[in-house]
Amino acid sequence: MHDSGVPTTVDARSAPSGRARRPEIRALTSIRALAAIEVVLLHTLFELGGKPAQALPAVVTGALTRGGMAVSFFFVLSGFILAYTYCDEGSALRGSPGNFWRARFARIYPLYFLGFLMDAPRVISFFLASATSLMSALAKIGIAGFAYVTLLQSWHPRVTNTWNTPGWSLSTEAFFYAVFPALLASSRRWSLPRLLRVAIAAWAVPIIAYTVVARARLVDLDVPALLTFWRSFPPLRLPEFVLGVAAGRLFLSGRLPADLRWLRWSGAVALVLILILPASGGFLPGFMVEMTLGAPLFALAIVAVASGALPTPRWLSSSTLVLLGRASYAVYIVHQPFKTVYMAAAHWAGLDSPSPALLIVFLVSLELFCIALFRWFEDPSRRVIARAPKYAG
């Protein structure tokens, strides 16, 4: 799901050193908190909430568990915020590619690696218990661990979900970061209409391909490995990021008219369509609805909110919700291993029966833990890495 992947792992406060920082767009920061909770509830609502959660109306549970769409939102928001933070007035990269990649590493990796460490006991015990031999278990642990720490797990479905499952989106984000300088360099002289056309066309290609394969039943797309491939393979998710970059360049271009009524109405329509899109599964491929179909709508809504064309309630920019938004990356990347620890503690106390209380205490404790991580681990780690000498010796 900060700049986006997840919660997006970028914010305007990460501007290149020595250059004027653009102000944080507080409403977008707050929305990250809401999207991160969507992902968390996807993984916990029924498991922790028990029968009362299962008894909720389908429309309610559907609205609370659109984690796949939330990840798509994070990918689009990532492109938007990266463009907003790192594009200069001529749509070129502010600073060098090396400095950009260093800043991105400082931003995402400390918490990402913490998630690896937190999930290690579960993964290691699983392989030791399920493998046919110790050597087989050690080999699987080594392969899965290497894929995770090198941010490569989303390139092969066999290892994508093995270690701290939400980390796959950071692997995909790492690919976005790798190509971002080249993307800006190759497209900086393009007109905005051309960039938007290319972004829309690129977004449509995997959707059309998936639809053709699904309708023609060329292969069984319900095979778990193929589902993981379509969800996680970085080049297939790149168009969502490119849509965000195009939206960011549009926002920075100064070409939005003084009269933003058209953007207000189109942004409002985009929000309505985002809300009803999940109900279109009977007419459209449900898996692609969940993954990528909303990306252009997200891009439009983000520009409408960022420009002020789409009014937002005052509470959306409140200090509390903004803080939760800043902690949303931690919520996203550690919620699964945190759940393992939480359920072990609940079991030890004899309080692990699924119930609304178990779910609510989990959500509150997760948010408090992640606020602490943001204040005393994530942000300080980023600053230390960003300020470290670039070359040693």
Q: Which whole-number Å values give the CA distances from 48 to 51, 58, 116, 337, 359, in the listed order? A: 9, 17, 23, 14, 5
pTM: 0.90
Q: Is residue 61 part of a domain?
A: yes
Tally the domains of the chain. Answer: 1
Q: Is residue 392 part of a domain?
A: no
Q: Give the position of tokens 């300088």.
A: 181
Query: Among candidates 192, 299, 193, which has minimal Cα distance to 241?
Result: 299
140 residue type, one letter:
K
Tell me, rounded to whole angstroms, the distance of Cα 24 from its chain centroid.
18
User: Would you place residue 3 in the very low, low, confident or very high pLDDT band (cuts 50, 70, 90)?
Assistant: very low
Task: Say if residue 309's pLDDT is above 70.
Answer: yes
Those residues whose C-beta lies under 8 Å from the C-beta of residue 174, and which sit 6 or more positions away, are 104, 108, 151
pLDDT of residue 224: 84
Query: Among candidates 309, 306, 276, 268, which has minimal Cα distance to 294?
Result: 276
- When mean pLDDT is compared across 33-42, 201-210, 256-265, the lowest value belongs to 256-265
For 134-188, the DSSP string reads HHHHHHHHHHHHHHHHTT-GGGSHHHHTTSSTTHHHHHHHHHHHHHHHHHHHHHT
Residue-averaged pLDDT of the chain: 87
- When mean pLDDT is compared across 24-28, 173-177, 219-223, the lowest value belongs to 219-223
Asked if residue 370 lies in contact with residue 327, where contact means CB atoms within 8 angstroms, the answer is: yes
Asked if residue 371 lies in contact with residue 91, where contact means CB atoms within 8 angstroms, the answer is: no
Tell me, rounded to whole angstroms, the distance of Cα 145 from its chain centroid.
21
Q: Is the dihedral of CA 342, 346, 348, 354 positive or negative?
A: negative
Q: Is residue 2 part of a domain?
A: no
Query: Among candidates 244, 234, 235, 230, which has minimal Cα distance to 294?
Result: 244
Q: Is residue 377 part of a domain?
A: yes
pLDDT of residue 280: 58
User: Would you place residue 393 in the very low, low, confident or very high pLDDT band (cuts 50, 70, 90)?
Assistant: very low
- When mean pLDDT is compared across 158-162, 285-289, 292-296, the lowest value belongs to 285-289
- Report the distance separating Cα 291 and Cα 225, nearest Å: 16
For residues 330-341, give the mean pLDDT: 96
User: Would you place residue 241 in the very low, low, confident or very high pLDDT band (cuts 50, 70, 90)?
Assistant: very high
pLDDT in tens, 152-161: 999 999 999 9
- State the residue range of the domain holding 283: 12-387
Q: Give the position of tokens 């319900």.
A: 222
Q: Is the dihedral of CA 269, 270, 271, 277 positive or negative?
A: positive
Task: Say if residue 211's pLDDT is above 90.
Answer: no
**At 379, is the secondary structure helix, strand, or coil?**
helix
Q: Is residue 334 part of a domain?
A: yes
Q: Is residue 75 part of a domain?
A: yes
Strand ranges inside the chain, DSSP E: none
pLDDT in tens, 64-107: 888 888 999 999 999 999 999 999 887 788 888 999 999 999 99
Q: What is the dihedral of CA 222, 128, 168, 186, to 10 degrees?
A: -110
At CA 51, angle to CA 47 and CA 57, rounded to 5?
100
User: Would you place residue 1 in the very low, low, confident or very high pLDDT band (cuts 50, 70, 90)?
Assistant: very low
Q: Is residue 151 part of a domain?
A: yes
Task: Choose between 291 and 49: higher pLDDT.
Answer: 49
Q: Give the position of tokens 């609370």.
A: 64
